[in-house]
Amino acid sequence: MLNIAVLVSGGGTNLGALIDAQREGRLGGGRIRCVISSRPGAYALTRAKNAGIPAEVADRRAFDSGEAFDKALKALLKQYETDIIVLAGFMSILGDELVGEYKNRIINVHPSLIPAFCGKGFYGLRVHEAALDSGVKLSGATVHFVNEVPDGGAIILQKAVEVKDGDTPESLQKRIMEQAEWRILPEAVALFCEGKIKIENGKAIIIK
């Protein structure tokens, strides 16, 4: 059984999808061992406590450097014997040292079809605003490994979602969460925990 640490910053809707998957036996050989929030008031902490999952806070604003923040995160990850880190709406950038220590063991969900609308500065509603401004007819979500480049790690799963006439950033965000993020994030975590993902030449290969 692999220990999963879920890192959050806000409402925790993707955390909710992971909790549902765990309750229904869809996380493979993994269990959510802890939830760590970078903000003390995040509703994701309430979701964790309601599900009986240990919840911790590493308040990014309380640290004077990224290195100090990473050190606090690392201590919590070690405390819970973390095997895989899942970034689920986590709004802080992890430092290279921490990313290197958990190489190919950190996954993130991004609300676009990478390489579109990703990288530094693309997060939250900004992603959907960019998609609508571009006039694309399809957007979606991507689950990928985290490396030193924002949204630059190997892609594990993607799912396309239709962009509809009259969409707002909020309506597109909601549809992508419901039709893509909440589905492929638990699936990717399960694949990892079942040992069904391998990295070859910088690409994530799913073992059938």
22 contact partners, CB below 8 Å, separation of at least 6: 30, 31, 32
Q: How many CB atoms lie within 10 A of CB 60?
A: 18
Contact 88, 14 (CB under 8 A): yes
Q: Cα(196)–Cα(67) distance, rounded to whole angstroms?
A: 33
Positions annotated as catalytic residues are: 110
Q: Cα(72)–Cα(57) distance, rounded to whole angstroms?
A: 10
Q: What count of Cα atoms within 13 Å lies in the side-chain half-sphere of residue 172?
A: 29
Q: Select from 104, 103, 185 the least CA-distant residue to 141.
A: 185
